[in-house]
Amino acid sequence: MIIRSKAPLRLGLAGGGTDVSPYSDLYGGAILNATINMYAYTTIVPTDDGKVVVELPDLGVSETYDSATVLPAEGPAVLHLGVYNRIVRDFTHRPLSLRISSHVDAPAGSGLGTSSTLVVSILGAFVEWLKLPLGEYDTAQLAYSIEREDLAMAGGKQDQYAATFGGVNFMEFYDNNKVIVNPLRIRKSVLYELSHNLVLYYTQTSRKSAEIIEAQTRNVKNKNGRSIEAMHKLKEQAVWMKEAVLKGDLDEMGRILDFGWQYKKQMADSITNTQIDQVYEAAVQAGATGGKISGAGGGGFMFFYCPQLNRYAVEKALLAFGGNVKRYEFTKEGLRTWTIQ
């Protein structure tokens, strides 16, 4: 028997950072994101040899453990082992024997929610295998709890819900981990035009999002007025962006993205740097009307809104910085799992 799963990565279009505690607990957060056809994949093969084997082809890693109720959640397989420990603790109450492997279509630290999406994919495979009674909200919340609480990894809440639900969603975040996912009905022509005009560019750099998010968290805890006001503006941006997408007023997106980028940079010092600023300026000079860095900041993917035929001049300008442009499409489906006998 083979159990497989896949969960989509996402573009955070607006409101990024307002899903992070304690801001979301104190003020409420709002985010608009959309999943794309890049995925985190997981395969589980049940075994009877009393071993847990974790294979990470992306990293050339294979680790073997004796089956136990708790495995050491550390090293390159930390996410897999964290999910395993929680599944055993909350559901099976006995050790499991299996071989598990994963692959992600984007590198870690790229800003597309890779870590959280991978957790959702791993968790989904266990849910499929063990027939666990978890709905979409349950799965997303459990993935969040494993990553943020069990493994103490800093970050927000949007990625787990985006990967689980899929599609274009306006998400609201409140105290006590309350999350409301509002799926948006967007015309196909609007999504096609959006994916054509929104250029996704990989800077060939990665970053540790946890460090940036920890700085953002400190700013809120320390009542840094500039940082908190910036997050208020990003929450407004999410509502503004939602209205533009629903109305199909896509050329407004460039201005909305630029508005958000100017405030996002004020949330923490390490969100941008000289190279990122140069890339952004070059894209605007070539015809982009706005853009942002994807995820927490500091590196990874950036994207830019390029109306009409401007994307070709913008792509040429971006390639001069040594990165690459990634073609993609928006996807409506979230986490999917299946079993092959």
- 159's CB contacts (< 8 A; 6+ apart) are 10, 113, 115, 116, 117
For range 314-328, the mean pLDDT: 95
In angstroms, rounded to a whole number, what is the distance separating the alpha carbons of residues 321 and 100? 38
- Which CATH code for domain 188-326? 3.30.70.890
Mean pLDDT of 76-95: 97
Residue type, 234: L
The tens digit of pLDDT for each residue in 189-230 reads 999 999 999 999 999 876 666 677 777 778 888 888 888 998
Whether pLDDT at 253 is above 70: yes
The pLDDT value given to residue 296: 66
Mean pLDDT, residues 49-67 taken together: 95
Of 100-109, 211-220, 229-238, 272-281, which range is least confident? 211-220
> Can you give the pLDDT at residue 59?
87
Q: Collect all residues with Cβ–Cβ distance below 8 Å to 205 and sequence separation of at least 6.
A: 275, 299, 300
pLDDT in tens, 238-250: 999 999 999 999 9
Residue 108 and residue 58: Cα distance in Å, rounded?
10
Q: Which is more confident, 151 or 176?
A: 151
Alpha-carbon distance of 193 to 61, in angstroms, equals 40
Catalytic residue among 49, 66, 90, 159: 159
CATH topology of domain 2-185: Ribosomal Protein S5; domain 2 (3.30.230)
Average pLDDT over residues 54-58: 94
Which of 268, 260, 316 lies closest to 289, judged by CA? 260
Q: Token digits for 308?
A: 């009409």
What pLDDT is attached to residue 222?
83
pLDDT of residue 217: 79
Backbone angles phi, psi at 278, to 5 degrees: -65, -40
Question: How do residues 103-133 score in pLDDT, each as one tens digit?
Answer: 999 988 888 999 999 999 999 999 999 999 9
Which three-class secondary structure state does DSSP give residue 64? strand
Query: What is the model's pLDDT at position 155?
Result: 87
Task: Determine the pLDDT at residue 265.
Answer: 86
Which pLDDT does position 207 carry in this prediction?
60
Q: What is the DSSP string of 232-251?
A: HHHHHHHHHHHHHHHHT-TT
Average pLDDT of the residues in 34-60: 96
- Residue 338, CB half-sphere, CA atoms under 13 Å: how many? 4
Predicted confidence band at 176 (pLDDT cuts at 50, 70, 90)?
confident
Tell me: pLDDT of 270 over 80.
no
Q: How many residues does the chain have?
A: 341
pLDDT of residue 208: 62
Q: Provide CB contacts within 8 A for 281, sequence distance 6+.
A: none
Question: Is residue 49's pLDDT more than 70?
Answer: yes
Are 5 and 26 a contacting pair, CB within 8 Å? no
Residue 297: predicted pLDDT: 67
pLDDT-derived band at 331, boundaries 50, 70, 90: very high
Higher per-residue confidence, 298 vs 194? 194
Does 48 qualify as catalytic in the annotation? no
Taking the domains of the chain in order of start, what are their residue ranges?
Answer: 2-185, 188-326
Neighbouring C-alpha atoms within 13 Å toward the C-beta of 252 = 12
Which pLDDT score, from 0 to 100, does residue 212 have?
Answer: 74
